[in-house]
Chains A and B, each alone.
Chain A
């Protein structure tokens, strides 16, 4: 197995951006935070962008203030590195983008539009898009050696690569112009293709979503049009940043079939997009700590339980046999992943027996990530 050397990765000055991705519930946020702590401990000026951290983890990173800017984490005792942390405020990031790209009057008009409220808070790709935008901003500021970024808890690991494109499609406005005014410019071409069906569709859509919403959307897209080029350019620039040599993707997965299946999709997708895949973090594994074959342990536990002697030793043996079974299963699943993706470096991170919500815990996970 090709082992992922996390310390070498963090120490390499060419490593400028690390993106932690993976399906929900695998420990992405904690992994991102632990990597950042480790990098700072090893002397790098590091910033970590978290998306939706658990409350206590956020507190431990001093993320009480919601100002959408990185704050230095002072609680960490460091020789030369620095740790800064922030939590994404997607609405605010979006607002800032509008202010930046539109004139004052137009920006106010956009922000007041009811359709903007929908897009900036409920559209399923907005969080992903804004995470990438914020990442771009942090890199642009050039104040840190290393930016570690967590990705949103999506349904699937691939969502955040696709979100900017999906949002662009909506904001592009061709369809919306046709829907709100099918008789005018652009409408005729489409009518030729679908004939009367389009009129019916327009009617159906406006019956369903209501004429008012279509009207709001249309006004919004018109106001947005002038700054759309700027938006698209930025999304493109961030995408290129993700493909640049200073960026690495770490796919985080639990040693579970579902999470590893998602990880496989992700690995294939990154390779198709020629994105730099750094490796797989197999999170929360349970390696066996005592080299003792399980069948012998189980037979001995049976003997002890029959006689009722030494219940503590019997329990210790049962615990061991359980652990061997879990470890074997995890090894089997990871071996299967490695067979399918032999080139992907991998590191197993042994589970902590308790929840992690302070800097000590992050430090310990950092050690385990480095294989210590």
Chain B
């Protein structure tokens, strides 16, 4: 399957996960820009205290508030929020207990970190709780404040535990305010409003982790969305040459003759180097083909994003967003 589906277009919370090093934050940011294209308002959220969004958009660290960080083509805008679990806990407690000054003192003492350590699930419940609040918040005109929320989630190894609020709640009090809040979070995460997207590279390990994560999401009754295949480089060799080149067979005479036609006269060392690079390229193309076949087992919509040799800057994010819009993201 290729491209965005109608079902995905209906989602309001887009959770983005992936193995470490696959470019999860980049894809989340590009997706936010793509979703905002054409005049919509999108919130991009991070939860791991990494300030990855600020770095990506080349800005100072984000405060705990929803800041406008980019305009999208066609009048849309992207805001960003870095959720700090300590601040979220205090904000939350304040709603019920009016802690005021005492809250800040307790924070200084490390009491908040202590409470979240005591019950590791509490941290996740607080973070997802804040995300839910953003998704459901009503704007001035009675519509939702945000048309979509994109969550840069923990990596694949931890994401199901992070989203499995029901399990986290088993650690926590069976009654009381947080129980009430968590029920709303569970409802949102398991509804058609939420899609969990996976970022993969065309390499063995990231693909395996992606498939494992899909199975885990299914088992936890969470809905896998699309697979974003990141950093896809163009195949350069004619398809018929790939197999033999990957076995080390590149016709040196033919290459040399071709180079001469183009006016390049190269010595033996250069030619050897060129051939070796070509063999490595062919090996990688083969590996990527195998990875693609394997990834197809997930039976999820797939969207490819190109490798950017110049690295990822703000302009590159717009480029990636444009690619996503071209693949039907809306």
Residues of A within 8 A of B (CB): 23-26, 54, 115, 118, 122-124, 153, 155-156, 166, 169-170, 175-176, 179, 190, 193-198, 200-201, 203-211, 213-214, 217, 254, 256-259, 261, 288-292, 296-297, 300-301, 303-304, 309-320, 322-323, 325-326, 329, 333, 353-355
Contacts and interface: CB of A to CB of B under 8 A. Distances in A.
Interface stretch (B95-103, B135-143, B216-224, B320-328): B95-103
B203 to A, nearest CB: 7
A124 B118 contact: no
A355 to B, nearest CB: 4
B120 A310 contact: no
Contacts of A208: 115, 119, 122, 172-173, 176-178
Given A198-B106, A205-B115, A300-B259, A311 B238 contact: yes
Nearest to B158: A155
A303 B271 CA distance: 19
Nearest to A195: B102
B299 interface: no
Interface string B109-120: 111011101111
A124 B176 contact: no
A196 B287 contact: no
Contact of A201 (B102, B178, B262): B102
B273 interface: yes
A359 B275 CA distance: 26
26 contacts: A23-B20, A25-B20, A26-B21, A124-B120, A197-B99, A197-B101, A200-B97, A201-B99, A206-B173, A207-B177, A207-B178, A289-B273, A289-B276, A291-B269, A292-B266, A303-B263, A310-B254, A310-B259, A315-B278, A318-B236, A319-B236, A326-B309, A329-B310, A353-B287, A355-B204, A355-B287
Nearest to A259: B21
Contacts of B259: 300, 310, 313, 316-317
Most buried by A among B257, B280, B310: B280
B262 A304 contact: yes
A372 to B, nearest CB: 16
A254 B21 contact: yes
Contacts of A200: 97-99, 102
A290 B102 contact: no
Please classify the interface of chain B as helix (H, G, I), strand (E, B), loop, or mixed, using the class held by over half of its residues.
helix
A333 B99 CA distance: 48
A333 B278 CA distance: 25
Nearest to B174: A210
Contacts of A290: 266, 269-274, 276-277
A296 B265 CA distance: 11
Contact of A312 (B105, B106, B241, B280): B241
B111 A201 contact: yes
Interface string B242-282: 00000000110011011101111010011111111111110
Nearest to B264: A300
Nearest to B21: A25
A156 B50 CA distance: 8
Contacts of A323: 277, 281
Given A197-B100, A204-B96, A320 B277 contact: yes
A199 to B, nearest CB: 9
Interface in B129-161: 154-155, 157
